[in-house]
Amino acid sequence: MRSYLITRVAVTLGMLIATSIIVFAVLRVIPGDPLVTRLGSTRGVSQETIDHLRHQLGLDRSVVVQYLAWVGGIPRGDLGKSYFNDYPVGTLIGQRIGATMELTILAVALSVLLAVPAAVLSAARPAGPFDRVMSALSSFGMAFPPFVAAIFLLLLFSVQLGWLPARGYVSLADDPVENLRHMVLPAISLAIIATPLILRYLRADLVEALASPYIRTAEGKGVPRRDVILRHALRNALLPGLTSVGLIFGYTVGGAVLVEYVFGLPGLGSLAVESAVKRDYAVLQSVVLLLSATFIVAMLIVDILSWTLDPRLRLRGAHA
Amino acid sequence: MTAPVLDVRDLNVAVRNTPVVRDVSLSIPAGGRLGLVGESGCGKTMTALSIMRLVKPPVHITGGQVLLGGTDLLRLNQKELDRVRGGRVAMVYQDPMQALNPLHRIGDQIVEAIRLHTNAARIDAHRRAVALLDDVGVADAARRMKAYPHEFSGGMRQRVMIAMALAADPELLLCDEPTTALDVTTQARIIDLLMEISQKRGVALMLITHDLGVAAGFCDDIVVMYAGRVIERSQVDRLYQRPLHPYSEALMAASVDLEMPLDQPIPAVSGQPPVPGEMPDNVCPFHPRCPYAQDICRRERPPLAPHAGALVACHFPRDGAGDHVLLERASA
Amino acid sequence: MPEAIPKTEVAPGVGVAGAPAAPAVAVPARAWRAKRPVALWVSGGILVVLALACLLAPVVAPYDPTAQDPANAFAPLSSAHLFGTDELGRDLFSRTLYGGRLSLLVAGGGVLIAFLLGTLWGFLAATRRGLLDELLMRSADALMAIPQILFALVCVAAFGASLVNLAVIIGVLLAPSTARMARSVALNEVTRDYYSAAVAYGASPSRLLLRELLPNTTGALAIQAAINAASAIILEASLSFVGLGVQPPDASWGTLLQQGYGFLYQQFSYAFFPGLGILLTIWMLNVLVDQLGARNTAGGRR
C-alpha cells in the first residue's frame, strides 16, 4: 500500500531530475554565448570586461558545477539570476506564475464544464444525432492549435466586433471583471482543443461503463434512465476520466505558452518565449523545468487521487 | 383457481432478424417455483431478460404478452416499467461480481432499491437493508453495509444480490443461474436460502439453470427449452421419472449416475443444438439428434400439446408403456 | 499534439458458462468512426490538393512572393489579389502558397527524422529488452514530460533556427512518441513465428529490423507518421510565430502568422489564411488518422 506511494514519488523525482539534466545539457552544449546577447556584440569590449562578466554570471565554472549550483538552489528558492538584468529568476517566476495558473485553471474548468455534459449526452445515445455532431466537432476542435484559435478569436471578437480587449492583463486582485474580460478569449483558445480531448476520453469511459453488467442490475432495480447514467455510469467513469483531465492539464500548460504570447499575458509561457529569444538561459532553464515539473506532478497527483478513490485498489493486499 | 403471478404468452424475441425465443409460453402460480432448464444457448436467459424487458438492440421483443398479475409488462411505458422492475418483479443475475457496482457500497445499493419503491426515509431504509442482509444470512450485517462488493466472497455476493432483489418485496423473483459461479457447497446453501425465501415470503420464483440436479430439489414444475422453444413442461417428479420428450429423456440419461458401472461410457447427447436461424421453421428442431425421428419430424414441427399430464412438443413422445409412438393429433 | 491512439473498446459482456451473450448496449466503436470510407478519401484528397498546391508554389503562385509594391499596400481581396496584399504590397495568396511549401517541407523533414530515429529507437528497445529497453524507454518518458513547445524553444535557443535545424529539432522532439509506438508494435511482432524463424536462421540484426519487423509494422508506423505530421506542423508554426522558427526573408505559415499578427486591424487575411491552412491541414490529418486507425485495429490486422 504505502510502497505504491513511495515508488510513485520516487519515479516522479527521478523524472524531474532527468528533465532538469536534459534541459540544462541542451542549453550548455550550444556554440552560442549568452554574453553576446547581454553585450550586444563582443566587438569593442575588452577581454577583461568579458572575463569579469563571465565570472559574475558564473559561466566560467565547469558545466557540472553550474548544474549543481542551479539544482542546489532550487530548494532554497534561489534559481540564479537572469543573464540579462541580474533579476533573481525566482522573483521573475513568482511575478508571472499567477497569470499562467489562472489561465490554465480557467481553461481546464471551462473544458470540463463543456465536456462532461456533452460526453453524457453522447454516450447516452451512441451513434445518435448528438453523438455524431459532437464527433465531427471534436475532430475539428482538436485540429485547432491554440495560438491559431487565439488569432482567429482576436480577429472576430476584438478586431471585427470590438467586444473584448485584444491584449493586456489586469490582475484578479485589482479588478475581477476586467481580469475576466482579458482572460475570456485566452481561456477559450485553450478550451477549443482541450474540450474535445476530455470529451473523447470521457465518452469512451462512459460507453464502457454503460456496457457493464451492473448497469443492467440497476435497470432491473427500476432505477430511472437518468440516474442510471449519472449515478452509476458517470460516477464509475469519472475515475478513469480523472486521468485524462490530468493529461489535459499538462497539454494546456504547453498550449498556454503561445496563447499568453498572443494575448500579451504576463505569464510563465510568455516569459519562456522572451527568455528564449534573448538567449537568457538562466531564466529559460528554470521556467521550462518548472512547467515540465507541473506536468509531471499533475500526473502524480492524478495517479494518487485515482488510487485513493478506487476502493478496489486501496484495499489491495488487505483482502484475499 | 387463482390467477398466476406470471403468465407469459407466445413470447417471441429476435436478435436482428433471427428469432432466438419462439412462441414461449409459461406461467407461475403465486408462491410457485418454476424451473427453466436447457442447454447453453437455448434462450432461457433471453426469456428471463425479456420478461423484465432488459434486452437492448440488436435484441428485440417481437411479440407476445408478459402478464404480471394481469398487467402486460410489454405495454408499459418507461416510468411504469421502472416502477415494476425491482418493485413487483426482481432478478438475481449470474455473476454477482460483475452484477454489483464495484464503486458503490453494498449497503447503498440495497438502500437504493428500497427507496426506489417505497416511501421509506433514509434511516428506515437503512434499517430494513440491515434486516434483509441478516435474513439472507450475511453475518454482522450492520457493519457489512459499508463494505464494497469486492470485499465479499462469491457466495456472500450472491446473498447480497438476493437481498437487493427482495428489497421491495416483489411478487416474483427471477434467478438466472444463481449458483453457476459458485462452488458446490455454497450452491447448496444458496438454493436453501431461495427455498426459505419462497416458503416464508410466498414469493414466486423462476429458477433458470442448466443443472438438472439443482432444479430437481427445488422446483414444482419444470419447463424444458430447446432452440428457443418450449419442448416440454411437466411437474418435476413426473419429468425426472418419466420424461416425455426425447430431448428430456436424453438429458436425464446424461446425468452421471454415481451408481453406474465404471466401464460404461457416460451417456451424452450427441450433436449440437442448432444455431439460431439455421433451421427452417417447419421442422422439429431436435430431429437431427433424435433417435426416434422419422419423416414427419422433418416435414412438420410438432406443436406443444398436452400428453400424459404434461405438455410436450413431439410427434413421438413417450407413452405409458415407455414406447415412442406417433401421437395422433386432432386435425386443426 | 496529443496522440490520437484509438481507445480500446470493450466487447459486450459474455455470460458465464457459454450462455448466449447477455444483451448489452451495442458497442459504438464503429459508430464513432463509422462514417463510411468517404471520409478517408475526402480527407486524403484535400491533403493531396493542399500539399500539391503548396509544394508546387513556384508553378501555381500568380506572383513572386517577394515582389513588393508599396503603393498597393493592404489592398483588399480582389480577383487580382485573391488574399489581398501585405504592408509592402506583396501578394498574400502567393506568400501563403510559398509559406505552405516551407511549412510542409520543414514538417516533412521533421517527420522523416522522427521516423528514422524513433523507429530505430523503438525497435532496438523491443528486440534487445532488458536494461537497454528500460533505459531507452525511460529516456523517452523523460523527454515526453517536457511540453514540446518549450523543449523546442530551448533547442532553438541553443542551436539556432536554420531550416535544417528546425527539421532536426522537430524530428528529435517527435522521436520519443514514435519510439514508444514502434516498440509497442515491434513487441507484438517479435513473438510471432516468422520472426522467431528468422532469428533461428541467424539473421543479422539489421536484417531483422529492416526485412522482418519493418514491413510488418508499416500500418501502425504510417499512422504515427500522420500524427507526427500534425504535431510537426504545429511545432514549426509555433516556433516561427514567436520568431524562433523560419526567419525572414523566408516565410512559412507560422512566420506569416507572426507578421499578420502585427497587422490584424489592417489586413485580416494576412494571418487568417495561413491560419486556415494550418487548421485545414491538421484537421484532415486527424480525420485521416482516425480512419486509418479504425481500419488498422478493427479491420484486418488483428
Measured CA to CA in angstroms, residue C77 lies from C93, C265, C267 at distances of 10, 15, 9
Mean pLDDT of C130-153: 83
Q: Which residue of A has its CA nearest to B84?
A: A222
- DSSP β-bridge partners for residue B61: B13
CA–CA gap between residue C178 and residue C111 (Å, rounded): 10
CB < 8 Å to B54, chain C: 23
Measured CA to CA in angstroms, residue B20 lies from B38, B54, B226 at distances of 14, 15, 10
- Looking at residue B274, what DSSP letter applies? P
The verdict on a CB contact (< 8 Å) between A207 and C9 is yes
In a domain, A21, yes or no: no
Cα angle A223, A307, A114 (rounded to 5 degrees) comes to 55
Q: How far is A117 from chain B (nearest CA, A)?
A: 21
CA–CA gap between residue B225 and residue B247 (Å, rounded): 10
Sign of the torsion formed by the C-alpha atoms of C151, C153, C157 and C162: positive
- What CATH number is associated with residue A123? 1.10.3720.10
Mean pLDDT of B5-13: 92
In a domain, A87, yes or no: no
Residue A50 identity: I
- Looking at residue B290, what DSSP letter applies? -
- Among A28-32, A91-95, B182-186, C175-179, which stretch is predicted with the lowest mean pLDDT? A28-32
In a domain, C161, yes or no: yes
Residue A251 has pLDDT above 50, yes or no: yes
CA–CA gap between residue B17 and residue A273 (Å, rounded): 63
The verdict on a CB contact (< 8 Å) between A32 and C160 is yes
- Among B269-283, C160-174, C232-246, which stretch is predicted with the lowest mean pLDDT? B269-283
φ/ψ of residue B62, rounded to 5:
-100, -5
Quick: pLDDT tens for B35-46.
999 888 888 999
Find out whether C172 and C181 touch, Cβ atoms under 8 Å.
Answer: no
Find out whether B270 and B246 touch, Cβ atoms under 8 Å.
Answer: no
Tell me which H or E stretch contains C202. Answer: none
pLDDT for res A122: 92
Q: Which residue of B has its CA nearest to A309?
A: B103
Class level of CATH domain B6-219 = alpha beta
Mean pLDDT of B1-23: 88
CA nearest to B160, candidates B211, B209, B207, B104 = B104
In a domain, C257, yes or no: yes
In a domain, C11, yes or no: no
Residue C295 has pLDDT above 50, yes or no: yes
Mutate to test the interface with A, among C30, C47, C146, C162 (most CBs of A within 10 A): C146
Quick: pLDDT tens for B80-130.
999 999 989 999 998 888 899 988 999 999 999 999 999 888 899 999 999
- Among A69-78, B44-53, C9-18, C155-164, which stretch is predicted with the lowest mean pLDDT? C9-18
pLDDT for res B172: 94
Q: Mean pLDDT, chain B, as a whole number? A: 87
Q: Is A201 on the interface with C (CB under 8 A)?
A: yes
Q: Is C190 on the interface with A (CB under 8 A)?
A: no
- Please tell me which chains touch B, using 3 or more CB pairs under 8 Å as the contact test: A, C
Q: How far is A217 from chain B (nearest CA, A)?
A: 6
- Looking at residue A319, what DSSP letter applies? B
Q: Mean pLDDT, chain A, as a whole number? A: 82
In a domain, C59, yes or no: no
Which band of pLDDT confidence, cut at 50, 70 and 90, is reported for residue A39?
Answer: low
Domain residue ranges of chain B, discontinuous segments joined by +: 6-219, 243-331
pLDDT for res C3: 38
- Among C29-33, C67-71, C209-213, which stretch is predicted with the lowest mean pLDDT? C29-33
Find out whether C65 and C95 touch, Cβ atoms under 8 Å.
Answer: yes
Residue B70 has pLDDT above 70, yes or no: yes
Nearest to B46 among C20, C24, C25 (CB): C20
Q: Is B130 on the interface with A (CB under 8 A)?
A: no
* Reported pTM: 0.78
Which alpha helices (H) appear in A31-167, and where do they start and end?
34-39, 47-56, 63-73, 89-124, 129-142, 146-153
Mean pLDDT of B235-240: 88
CA–CA gap between residue A121 and residue A127 (Å, rounded): 11
The verdict on a CB contact (< 8 Å) between C2 and A284 is no
Tally of domains within chain C: 1
In a domain, C47, yes or no: no
Using CB atoms and an 8 Å cut-off, which of residues 10-29 of chain A contact chain C?
14-15, 18-19, 22-23, 26-27, 29
Find out whether C27 and A206 touch, Cβ atoms under 8 Å.
Answer: no
In a domain, C198, yes or no: yes
Strand order in the sheet with B33-37: B89-92, B172-176, B204-209, B33-37, B221-226, B229-235, B310-312, B305-307
CB < 8 Å to B80, chain A: none
Q: Residue A26: how many CB atoms within 10 A of its CB? A: 21
Please report, in angstroms and rounded to a whole number, the separation of the first and last CA atoms in chain A.
14
CB < 8 Å to A288, chain C: 146, 150-151, 153-154
In a domain, A45, yes or no: no
For B67, the 3-state DSSP assignment is: strand
pLDDT for res B257: 62
Which band of pLDDT confidence, cut at 50, 70 and 90, is reported for residue A40?
Answer: low
Whole-number percent of chain B with pLDDT over 90: 42
Quick: pLDDT tens for B292-321.
888 888 888 888 888 888 889 888 888 877
CA nearest to B227, candidates B181, B294, B290, B295 = B290
Cα angle A191, A195, A200 (rounded to 5 degrees) comes to 160
CA nearest to A242, candidates A195, A204, A299, A291 = A299
Mean pLDDT of B157-164: 92
Which band of pLDDT confidence, cut at 50, 70 and 90, is reported for residue C246?
Answer: confident
Cα angle C74, C79, C85 (rounded to 5 degrees) comes to 20
Residue A309 has pLDDT above 80, yes or no: no
Domain containing residue C267:
84-300
Mean pLDDT of B21-46: 90
Q: Tell which wins on pLDDT, C157 or B27.
A: B27
- Please tell me which chains touch A, using 3 or more CB pairs under 8 Å as the contact test: B, C
CB < 8 Å to A30, chain C: 157-159
The verdict on a CB contact (< 8 Å) between A288 and C282 is no
Which band of pLDDT confidence, cut at 50, 70 and 90, is reported for residue B48?
Answer: very high
pLDDT for res B331: 57
Which alpha helices (H) appear in chain A, and where do they start and end?
2-28, 34-39, 47-56, 63-73, 89-124, 129-142, 146-153, 176-210, 213-221, 225-227, 235-263, 268-277, 281-309, 311-314
Q: Which residue of B has its CA nearest to C21?
A: B41
Mutate to test the interface with C, among A28, A131, A147 (most CBs of C within 10 A): A147
Q: How far is B28 from chain C (nearest CA, A)?
A: 24
Q: What are the grid coordinates assigned to C281, written together?
A: 491541414
Whole-number percent of chain C with pLDDT over 70: 85
The verdict on a CB contact (< 8 Å) between A139 and C290 is yes
Mutate to test the interface with A, among B101, B116, B144, B169 (most CBs of A within 10 A): B101
Mention every residue, 6+ apart, whose C-beta is less than 8 A from residue A161: none
DSSP labels for C169-192? HHHHHHHHHHHHHHHHHHHHHHTS
Domain containing residue A178:
92-281
CA nearest to A284, candidates C257, C178, C137, C242 = C242
Q: If interface means Cβ-Cβ distance under 8 Å, which residues of chain B face chain C?
A: 20, 40-41, 43, 45-46, 49, 54-59, 94-95, 98, 177, 180-181, 210
The verdict on a CB contact (< 8 Å) between C264 and A155 is yes
Residue C135 has pLDDT above 60, yes or no: yes
CA–CA gap between residue C115 and residue C175 (Å, rounded): 7
- Among A112-126, A239-253, B19-33, C115-129, which stretch is predicted with the lowest mean pLDDT? A239-253
- Among A8-12, A294-298, B179-183, C3-7, which stretch is predicted with the lowest mean pLDDT? C3-7
In a domain, A179, yes or no: yes
Residue B325 has pLDDT above 50, yes or no: yes
Quick: pLDDT tens for A262-287.
898 999 988 888 888 777 878 888 88
Q: Residue C129: how many CB atoms within 10 A of its CB? A: 12
- Among A154-163, A244-253, C68-77, C113-122, which stretch is predicted with the lowest mean pLDDT? A244-253
Tally of domains within chain A: 1
- What CATH number is associated with residue C149? 1.10.3720.10
pLDDT for res C175: 93
pLDDT for res B61: 93
Q: Is C23 on the interface with B (CB under 8 A)?
A: yes
Which alpha helices (H) appear in B6-140, and where do they start and end?
44-51, 78-84, 96-99, 106-117, 122-135
Residue B134 has pLDDT above 60, yes or no: yes
Q: Which residue of C has its CA nearest to A123?
A: C28
The verdict on a CB contact (< 8 Å) between B100 and A214 is yes
CB < 8 Å to A239, chain B: 103
Q: Residue B275: how many CB atoms within 10 A of its CB? A: 10
Predicted complex ipTM: 0.85
Which band of pLDDT confidence, cut at 50, 70 and 90, is reported for residue A186?
Answer: very high
Q: What is the largest CA-CA distance in chain C?
A: 84
In a domain, C202, yes or no: yes
